[in-house]
Amino acid sequence: MNLFRHAQFYTTVNHLKDLPTTTAEIAFVGRSNAGKSSAINTLTNHTRLAYVSKTPGRTQHINFFELTNGGFMVDLPGYGYAQVPEAIRRHWVTLLGDYLQTRAQLIGLILIMDARHPLKELDKQMLDFFAVTNRPVHILLSKADKLSKNEQIKTLSSVKKALQPYFARQQVTVQLFSSLKKHGIDEVNQIVADWFDQ
């Protein structure tokens, strides 16, 4: 079953205290401009389910979408946008950290990283935040179409190598993804379906 196709918008919230009651959910996080909204739109086969930002870092709310199995997909605000004032940035990193560590029904995390700039400091921080939950993380190396076939193979391998220390403490998987070419959709769907089945 394709979990993402025909996903429906459910609700949007600005504060953790307003999070809706759900059964099980997966969350999408990533640096601002990493390609998160495009990935969500590609996976769900919508052109505008998630808002692709012209101004990175502008959307700071948490969007919920209902998947075809009754589970939920959560679009978290992008982090790391340089032009956001420090206080606001810190507020959102804390909020993200709180959500990742305390949301009981969060069964797994999809972390989007631009394949050309993987594993930035804040990405590692997100992995650290999430590690305490013992829940799996699946990394999408997005915009893979911007790399040659050879660079794609090299990037995948070097990211896996850099993740070695993380494998010891949490379940981390990684794949190449391209919203432009619609590559990698089945792989994500399979991973997420397994999370819901566990």
Quote the least distance from Cβ 197 to ligand GDP, whole Å.
28
Query: Which of 61, 180, 190, 194 touches ligand GDP (CB under 6 A)?
Result: 180
List for the chain the helix, strand, coil content (%; round to 5): 35, 25, 40
Quote the least distance from Cβ 104 to ligand GDP, whole Å.
26
Binding flag, residue 62, ligand GDP (CB under 6 A): no
For ligand GDP, what does the binding mask look like between residues 71 and 90, x meaning CB under 6 A?
A: -------x------------
Q: Element (H or E) spanning 93, and its range?
A: helix 86-102
Distance (Å, rounded) from C-alpha 127 to C-alpha 29? 10
Binding flag, residue 147, ligand GDP (CB under 6 A): no
Query: Which of 155, 178, 188, 195 touches ligand GDP (CB under 6 A)?
Result: 178
Q: β-pairing, 137-142 with 106-114? A: parallel
Query: Which of 7, 143, 155, 188 touches ligand GDP (CB under 6 A)?
Result: 143
Which of 95, 196 has the CB closer to ligand GDP?
Answer: 95
Q: Are 90 and 38 in contact (CB under 8 A)?
A: no
Q: β-pairing, 72-75 with 62-66? A: antiparallel
| Sheet order of strands, 106-114 included | 8-13, 62-66, 72-75, 25-30, 106-114, 137-142, 172-176
Instruction: Give residues in contact with ligand GDP (CB under 6 A).
Output: 30, 32-38, 52-53, 56, 78, 142-143, 145-146, 178-180
